[in-house]
Structure 1
Amino acid sequence: MSARVKAWLETLGDLFWLRPALVVLGCILLAQFGIWLEMAHVAGYDASSPDANWGYSGGAEGARALLSAIASSNIGVAGTTFSITIAALTLASGQMGPRLLRNFIRNGRNQTVLGIFLGTFAYALMVLRTVRTVEENPFVPHLAITGALVLALVAVGTLVWFVHHIATSINIETVVDAVQQDLCRAIAAYTRDEPGAARPDDAPTGRALAATGGGYVQAIDEDTLADWAQAHRIRVTLRVRPGDYVPSGFPIAHLSMHADGAEAAIRDAVTLGRRPAALQDPEYSIRQLVEIAVRALSPGINDPFTAGSVVDHLGDALCRIAPRHLPAGVVLRAGRPVLVHPVTDYDGLCDAMFHMIRQNAAGSVHVLGRMLDVLARVAEVERRSDRAAELARHAALVIAAARRDVADPSDLADLEDRYRRFHDRASSRA
């Protein structure tokens, strides 16, 4: 599956109406199927027979009253469900950040709940239109009405479950854990078991290709672009990576030599969109976690415990990266580099994780101490010297911030002690 198709499928997940619309369509088809079974007397089934009336057994007037009650109640509950969802989105936007709204909108359970209520409403309407009294050539689809009763009971259970789901989904620890799970999946997909090929030392030269339109780089189809470059015996050097914003007319690639169809090949391989995507960007979930921590450290919220929890989850992500290799951004064909593109390295990941939290945690002894503890634990797991040096650099930045902003001598002494323990643990692994 190409990267462009994957980006398109990810965009479909952001459409809040898509899943409810599919559920409503399915319920309409189910209603039509139940009515057809009643009219066709499939396999000799006769709903009017006393032996067959295991479901609804009333007449036309009772059927109309029952279906009307089911339809009216479910459309009312659907409105209530939508209001609760909007309230949860408002709370999440105010306390956790507007970029976290995407996680709630993409939540398939919220979409399915709304679809069940709307689908039950649509089902009841479709069946109600076929009920006829004695004056209208009587017809009562008993089987389809029984299906409406079943859907109504399902809707009751769904409402109880939905209230529980909303109450737990807006819990800050639940949100942090959900984003951290996305980060873990991104790390598993982004990292490699073996080191990649070495990047060429020569600077990119040759013809520059500019972007025809602006937007965020959502995905890059490396294999397709590498195959095209190999077929034309050239090297393509990209200047952007997933997550970067590309202004209109910005040169996003260099070709080692001229090749026909280069603009179309680059345009098809690099997917641009109106917003960043998590498809190939490992920093996407990191930025979400950092935003939660930064908002928690704001004076209006002042919740250092949430920021400390985020730091713990970021440390877990670094421990998962420790035995793995990050991609080098070089694609080989027949042993020759045909595609070179920028990638997120270990230093960039650490900067994205810790810089903003440290800058906004000035004077917060709890958060600064938690950062030193987490860095010490990661240093114990990490075996590469270059990565250990990067961890030591961030630990030095943390203690420097503490020496500058922490006024209480006892608090500063505690942070100094944690900084010494970091060096002791890091040196024991050297």
Structure 2
Amino acid sequence: MKNIKRLALRSRMITREFWFVPAVMTVLALILAETGINMEEKYGVPESLNFVYGGGETGSRSLLSAIAGSSIGVAGTVFSITIAALSYAAGSMGPRLLENFTSDRGNQFTLGTFISTFAFSLYTLRAVTGSNDQPFVPHYNVTFALALGVACVGMLVYYLAHITRSINMTQIANLLRNDMRSALMHATLEDDPDHDGATAPPQEFWLGGETLHAPSSGYLQLMDTELLLKLACDAQVALLLHVRPGDYVFPNSVIAVGVPRLPENVMDALTLGDRRTVGQDLEYSVRQLAEVAARALSPGVNDPVTAIDIIDRFGDALCSLQDRRWPDGVYYHDHQLRLVVPVTDFDGLTDSMFHMIRQYGKSSPSVMLRMLEVLGTTASCLTDAERRGVIRRHAGLVREDALRGIENSGDRADIEDRYRDVLNTLANGPVAEVRRAARHAVRQAQGDRAD
């Protein structure tokens, strides 16, 4: 059974590769060059087209040679700059962010412009003949090659500005924030007051069922829930998955249980790969941001401002979720249990967001204070009691680690003050948040006067 979603995932991964857009542009340039040559051989150049290049064979050769040589030379420069940017990104922000640079369409189109200009000019150059009997100059192509040369100059200017923005830490944080928010919006549902939620059966229900062992290893990149449900319904069985997108599947490990038996072709609905991907893997973008913050808090970098920026992005994502409903991962058909899959919940998401930053930043007062402030603001956006309890738990962990790692009495007092603000917001809701915001404004004003 063919998995359309798997094909779509593979296609999306291929089109995001660094070579894809330059390769397509080069092929199109060669086709366009051949088309221009054929048109001129058949129809010539009307006298009314005054803008078309009108030089002879020698001038055409010199012009095309200059464009081809300069375009491929600058392409090498562009590639060198890209490698330098990737090295900087890998060293300061982590190697997992390299994909964000290589899949950037601006970088791909810039390199594609130079390579396609080289291919177009070189292909056209072979058509220029200087025979006395029948000389031929592809005027259309030479004119278009001139236009491509001008475009290369514009793309070079654009690329220098673009690559500078791309390695800016704030820009990277915003891009990862957008990926994270998009993934969360797709994974969650609009709040439905009438939705009661389905509950999974106890573990005893699955005892004695037929187990599926992983035939290979890799990250689970895609789980086709619709296909899994269809397979279970067709076989009239209940199916339990032990893995979720983003998990690493070990060879021969148990990944599914079927009661009373397994349906056929379960692996057709599961796509394994060598790396994690954005999409169903909700924690992937979160971990990318958390890794940037952790590296910023390392002794060799010591950049708490970047960590604070990341904490703000996490608060942004949680407040955007507000009270959107998380899927329960339990599927019934005709009142019969057919499928249970593990899902990421609010608790696990916040753990991925804050645990690593708290552990690495526990001796940084500014980071811990900002984390408590963001938790307080997030608490004001949530009404679900369970989620507010998660915020309370994280605030307690931050307070405990901060008091253990910070020795200055003034900083410790500020930690206690921010922690009380979180508790007041959790207890009293928006009213407490207004009071907290007012106190924060007073503190800022007092700091400005002190400066």
- TM bin (shorter chain): over 0.9
Secondary structure class of the residue paired with 2:132? helix
Which residues of structure 2 form unaligned runs of 5+? 431-451
- Distance in 2, matches of 1:136 and 1:124, equals 24
The structural deviation recorded for 1:135 is 3.3
CA-to-partner distance for each residue in 1:100-159, whole Å, 9 max, x for gaps?
111111112111111110000000011110011143620011111101111111111011
Greater Cα shift, 141-150 or 197-206: 197-206
The structural deviation recorded for 1:18 is 1.3
- Distance in 1, matches of 2:96 and 2:133, equals 56
Which residues of structure 1 form unaligned runs of 5+? none
The structural deviation recorded for 1:211 is 0.6
- Distance in 2, matches of 1:283 and 1:10, equals 20
CA-to-partner distance for each residue in 1:347-378, whole Å, 9 max, x for gaps?
10010000000000021000000000000000
Counterpart amino acid of residue 20 in structure 1: P
The structure 1 residue matched to 2:91, chosen from 94, 97, 104, is: 94
CA-to-partner distance for each residue in 1:296-348, whole Å, 9 max, x for gaps?
00000000000000000001111112220111112232233311011111110
- Distance in 2, matches of 1:136 and 1:281, equals 67
User: Would you say the 8 A contact 2:323–2:384 is kept in 1?
Assistant: no
Higher relative contact order (CA 8 A, sep 6+): 1
- Distance in 1, matches of 2:414 and 2:81, equals 45
The structure 1 residue matched to 2:236, chosen from 229, 233, 243, is: 233
Note closer, same or farther for the CA distance 1:84–1:407 as it changes in structure 2 (3 Å cut).
same
The structural deviation recorded for 1:33 is 1.1
Secondary structure class of the residue paired with 2:41? helix
Secondary structure class of the residue paired with 1:135? coil
Partner of 1:258: 261
Counterpart amino acid of residue 352 in structure 1: S
The structural deviation recorded for 1:196 is 7.4
CA-to-partner distance for each residue in 1:199-224, whole Å, 9 max, x for gaps?
22321230111010011100101101
Partner of 1:9: 11
Partner of 2:278: 278
Superposed CA RMSD: 1.4
For 1:2-401, list aligned pairs within 5 A. Answer: 2-41=4-43, 46-47=44-45, 50-135=47-132, 137-193=134-190, 194=192, 197-203=197-203, 204-205=206-207, 206-259=209-262, 262=264, 265-401=265-401
User: Would you say the 8 A contact 1:326–1:345 is kept in 2?
Assistant: yes
- Distance in 2, matches of 1:3 and 1:197, equals 27
Secondary structure class of the residue paired with 1:217? strand
TM-score w.r.t. structure 1 length? 0.95
User: Would you say the 8 A contact 1:196–1:328 is kept in 2?
Assistant: no
The structural deviation recorded for 1:6 is 2.9
Greater Cα shift, 75-84 or 327-336: 327-336
Counterpart amino acid of residue 97 in structure 2: L
User: Would you say the 8 A contact 2:362–2:398 is kept in 1?
Assistant: no
Taking only the aligned residue pairs, the percentage that are identical comes to 42
The structural deviation recorded for 1:10 is 3.1
- Distance in 2, matches of 1:391 and 1:242, equals 25
Counterpart amino acid of residue 40 in structure 2: E
- Distance in 2, matches of 1:407 and 1:13, equals 52
- Distance in 2, matches of 1:423 and 1:202, equals 35
Counterpart amino acid of residue 137 in structure 1: Q
TM-score w.r.t. structure 2 length? 0.91
Greater Cα shift, 5-14 or 27-36: 5-14
- Distance in 2, matches of 1:14 and 1:51, equals 43
Secondary structure class of the residue paired with 1:253? strand
User: Would you say the 8 A contact 1:196–1:330 is kept in 2?
Assistant: no
- Distance in 2, matches of 1:198 and 1:101, equals 40
Partner of 2:443: none
- Distance in 2, matches of 1:179 and 1:114, equals 24
- Distance in 2, matches of 1:55 and 1:332, equals 68
The structural deviation recorded for 1:3 is 2.8
User: Would you say the 8 A contact 1:362–1:402 is kept in 2?
Assistant: yes
Counterpart amino acid of residue 401 in structure 1: D
Counterpart amino acid of residue 39 in structure 1: E
- Distance in 2, matches of 1:226 and 1:168, equals 45
